[in-house]
Each structure stands twice: as C-alpha cells, then as structure tokens.
Amino acid sequence: MTEFEQATDDVPNTPVSPGTMLLQARERAGITQEQVARELHITVTKVKSIESDDYLRLNTDTFIRGYLRAYANFLKIDSAPIIVAYQQHAAAQGLVTEPQYPISKEAPTRKLWVFVSLLILLLAGLWLISVWFFDNQVERPVVVPPAVVPSAVVPSASVPQTATPVQPVAESVEERTSAVDAAPGSVEGADAAETTTTDEPAVEEAPEEAASVVAPTERTLDRLELSFAEECWLEVSDAQGDVLATELQRPGSSVSLLGVAPFSVKLGNAPAVRVTLNGDEVAINPSAGTKVMTISVGE
C-alpha cells in the first residue's frame, strides 16, 4: 500500500450537509438560485444561506425546516434525508432545534377498527329496532280513531242560526218589543261566533313556532381567519383532528378556514399574525422575544 492510499483511508467520511445536498441536486437539475427564490417566494440571499448552511440568517428552527422541505419538494427529491442531515448539522453546531416526534403508523389501523366497530354496532341497533317495530305491528291490531272533526265544528255552526222566528203580519206592540229585546242576544251570539272563529287560526300557527324552535339546533362550522403582516409558518388543525393548513405564509396574505372549534394553531412568527374566530378578534399576547407559539382558539 502506498503512502497516498494510506492517507486516503485515514480520512473519516464526513456527512454531507443539507445545504450541500440541495446545492448538488439543484445543479444536477440545471436550476438557478433565482428560479428557486422565485418558486419559494424568498430572496436569493436566503437561498444562498440555505445552500451554505448559514442557518443563523433564517429565523427560527420552524422556518428552517419549512424552507428545507419546500426546497426539496421543488427539486422533487425526498425531504427526509435533508431534515436528518439538518438535525445532525444543528447538533454539531450547537443550534437549538425543536424535538421531532415519530408519526405513529398504527393510527390509520386504529381508526379503521374503530370505524368498523361503530358500523357493526349501528347495524345491530337498526336490526333490533326493526324487529321490535314489526313485532309490535303484528301483536297490536290497528284501531281507527273516531271522527272528532265533525263534532267540533257543529257548535260553532249552530251559534249563528239562533235567529228570531218569523212573526205573523198582525203582531202586537208587546211582541215587537220582545223581538227588539231579543235582538241584542242574537248580536252577542254572532260576536261569540266571530270570537270563536278568530281563535281558530292561533291553533294552526303552533306547528310553525315549533319548527322555528327546532331550526337553531343544527350545528354550524366555525370560521377561523388569519392575516399575516410578515412571513410566517402556519399549521392548523381542528377539534376533530383534521389538518386544515400547513404552509409558509407571505407578508400581506390571509387565510380563511372552516372547521370545528377549538382549533390548534402553530405560528412561526406570532407577533405578525392577526386571528379572528367567527368575526371576533382573538388576542394572542406573545411574551417578549417569543415568535414561535402554539395556541388553542375557541375553547
């Protein structure tokens, strides 16, 4: 073995930094730094900082990871090795990084089993209800209720018919007087009939009032709106666990999301964000010097 070969074997294999990996992939694809900056909506200076592993110029750890993933996706390469290389580089340089928790692969399987179990319980419940319903139909004969409507209408129709009987042509003055005295009674009967008929529509309006009471019980989705004065990384999920947004927001942009409150909102630059829930502004109140925050909106 020559001295050159021995010296070559003694050199340790140094890991490739994430910036070098992205730089080499960009050069192989024949893409310029200007094209990358235009696609990622960042400056050329930040692209150079990423490729030279100068992460102190790139804000917080959340932003750096977002830039690396977006850069790798643009170059159509796997972002996982880039993130691993960044973690190793950050540990070697003493940079502060956020802990990454492994994503459980058992979650989809558990959700599937829960869904199947609920479906089986639902079908069993429907089967029991149908058996009980048909058994009751067979055991109990159908009874036709008596006609109540005609008997209720007769009294109201008979009131106006209490008119003064027809008097003979030759009647005395006393009979005329008694007929005149009886007239107010007939008028009062007519008034009673009118009062009875005016009270009837109130009974018919009851179903409409009941329908108006039922309508507000329908559940509506909550609207979460965010506006950004500066560049900010955003991650949002609702109470049902649905991920509604995970992306980098540009200055002056805004987002409107629908879901079930409360919302879990992670912000990479909290002081530059304005949040409203169903039109009501939500106070963020970050502490001094804090940019990265995770808040719960709508509890």
Mean per-residue pLDDT of the chain: 74
Q: Does residue 236 lie within any of the structural domains?
A: yes
Structural domain includes residue 31: yes
CB atoms under 10 Å from CB of 59, counted, come to: 19
C-alpha–C-alpha distance, residues 83 and 295, integer Å = 25
Domain finish residue from 33, 60, 93: 93
Looking at residue 95, its pLDDT comes to 63
Q: Is 190 within the bounds of a domain? A: no
Number of domains the chain is built from: 2
Identify the domain boundary among 76, 93, 110: 93
Residue 169 domain-assigned (yes or no): no
In a domain, 119, yes or no: no
Residue 34 lies in a domain: yes
Alpha-carbon torsion angle 51, 53, 55, 58, nearest 10: 0
**CATH number of residue 55's parent domain:** 1.10.260.40
pLDDT at 258 over 90: yes
In a domain, 180, yes or no: no
Predicted local distance difference test score (pLDDT) of residue 59:
74
In the structure encoding, which two tokens stand for residue 298, read together? 């709508």
Residue 257: pLDDT band (50, 70, 90) is very high
What are the tens digits of pLDDT across the range 48-94? 988 888 888 777 888 899 989 998 999 999 999 999 988 888 887 76
Q: Is the Cβ–Cβ distance between 36 and 244 less than 8 Å?
A: no
Domain around 271: 222-297
Query: Taking 80 as the threshold, does the pLDDT of residue 269 lie above it?
Result: yes
Phi/psi zone of residue 76: left (φ > 0), alpha (ψ -120 to 50 degrees), beta?
A: left
Q: Which pTM does this prediction carry?
A: 0.31
Backbone angle region of 81, left / alpha / beta, with phi > 0 → left and psi within -120 to 50 → alpha: alpha
Q: Across-strand partners of 236?
A: 245, 265
Q: Indicate whether 152 belongs to any domain.
A: no
| Per-residue confidence band for 204, with pLDDT thresholds at 50, 70 and 90 | very low
- Residue ending a domain, among 75, 93, 111, is 93
Tell me the per-residue pLDDT of 18-57, one tens digit each, with 9 for 90 and over: 989 999 999 999 999 999 999 999 999 999 988 888 888 7
